[in-house]
């Protein structure tokens, strides 16, 4: 990493997030060194994570996985989440004989309804804690952005993409958009939370009604800032 450049760290759930976004974001962040931390899971769905300890857990993960980076070298930490429909009313979780949860525009189908309701309650509280967090440690700016109901939904228009297709779809996305940043920006604008909604209000919006099952992202707010400065 060039010593003159500050680091923007992106925290993502899985390798497909990195495949989709890394090349595009590096082109849009030329003034900074861009790094990814792949969590290989969702820290907000971990049963040991709570609203009171989630920031500490993030700090520990960053320190453990990015030992080569000093705290003073970070200019910003950007955290990307799948919302997974967690803000919907409990009566919109429907018990059916499906092998894994199915995300519809008006409900989540699951074979153990109570487990999904429990997950939704825990994860939604943690997400809202992170959405109102402005710093990691004391002085590193932190921002949380969501994909609803998940990254596959926003980028590939498929909320229930089979696991065996995820890498192929991610690689297709990378090839398509790394050479056409304008088209990438237009895509995110198309699925953005309503125009005029700022960062705080975007989280209010996604937590209302069935919005967290529909195809929305507030990551467009971050991308638009980069695009305007480019």
Q: Is residue 158 assigned to a domain?
A: yes
Which residues contact residue 89 at a Cβ distance below 8 angstroms, ignoring those fewer than 6 apart?
Answer: 209
Q: Is 40 helix (H, G, I), strand (E, B) or coil?
A: coil
Average pLDDT over residues 209-218: 97
Classify residue 2 by burial, with Cβ atoms within 10 Å: 0-12, 13-18, 19+. Answer: exposed
Q: Which range marks the domain in which residue 71 is found?
A: 7-229
Nearest to 184 by CA among 35, 23, 69, 52: 23
Name the token pair of 53: 């300890």
* Residue 1: per-residue pLDDT: 46
Q: Is residue 57 assigned to a domain?
A: yes
* Residue 230: per-residue pLDDT: 52
- Residue 3's pLDDT band, with cuts at 50, 70 and 90, is low
Chain segment 58-85, per-residue pLDDT in tens: 999 999 888 888 899 999 999 999 999 9
Q: Is residue 1 assigned to a domain?
A: no
Average pLDDT across the chain, whole number: 93
Classify residue 108 by burial, with Cβ atoms within 10 Å: 0-12, 13-18, 19+. Answer: buried
Q: Is residue 152 assigned to a domain?
A: yes
In the chain, the number of structural domains is 1
Q: Is residue 67 assigned to a domain?
A: yes
Distance of alpha carbon 193 from alpha carbon 212, whole angstroms? 11
Q: Is residue 192 assigned to a domain?
A: yes
- Tell me: pLDDT of 2 over 50: no
Alpha-carbon dihedral of residues 54, 57, 150, 123, nearest 10 degrees?
A: -30
Chain segment 112-170, per-residue pLDDT in tens: 999 999 999 999 999 999 999 999 998 999 999 999 999 999 999 999 999 999 999 99
* Residue 165: per-residue pLDDT: 97
Q: pTM of the full predicted structure?
A: 0.93
Alpha-carbon distances, residue 7 vs 1, 10, 31, 80, 130 (angstroms): 9, 10, 9, 17, 21
């Amino acid at each position: 990493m060039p010593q003159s450049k500050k680091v923007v760290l992106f925290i993502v759930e899985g390798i497909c997030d990195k495949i989709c976004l890394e090349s595009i974001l590096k082109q849009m962040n030329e003034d900074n060194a861009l790094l990814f931390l792949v969590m290989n899971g969702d820290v907000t769905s971990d049963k040991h994570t709570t609203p009171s300890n989630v920031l500490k857990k993030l700090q520990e993960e960053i320190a453990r996985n990015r030992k080569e980076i000093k705290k003073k070298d970070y200019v910003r930490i950007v955290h990307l989440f799948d919302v997974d429909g967690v803000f919907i009313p409990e009566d919109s979780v429907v018990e059916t004989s499906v092998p894994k949860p199915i995300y519809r525009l008006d409900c989540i189908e699951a074979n153990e309804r109570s487990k999904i309701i429990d997950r939704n309650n825990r994860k939604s509280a943690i997400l809202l804690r992170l959405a109102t967090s402005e710093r990691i440690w004391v002085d590193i700016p932190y921002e949380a952005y969501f994909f609803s109901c998940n990254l596959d939904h926003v980028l590939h228009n498929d909320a229930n993409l089979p696991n065996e297709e995820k890498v192929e779809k991610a690689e297709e996305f990378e090839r398509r958009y790394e050479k056409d940043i304008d088209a990438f920006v237009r895509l995110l604008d198309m699925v953005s939370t309503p125009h005029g909604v700022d960062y705080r209000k975007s989280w209010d919006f996604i937590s209302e009604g069935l919005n967290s099952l529909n195809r929305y992202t507030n990551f467009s707010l971050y991308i638009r800032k980069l695009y305007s400065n480019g």
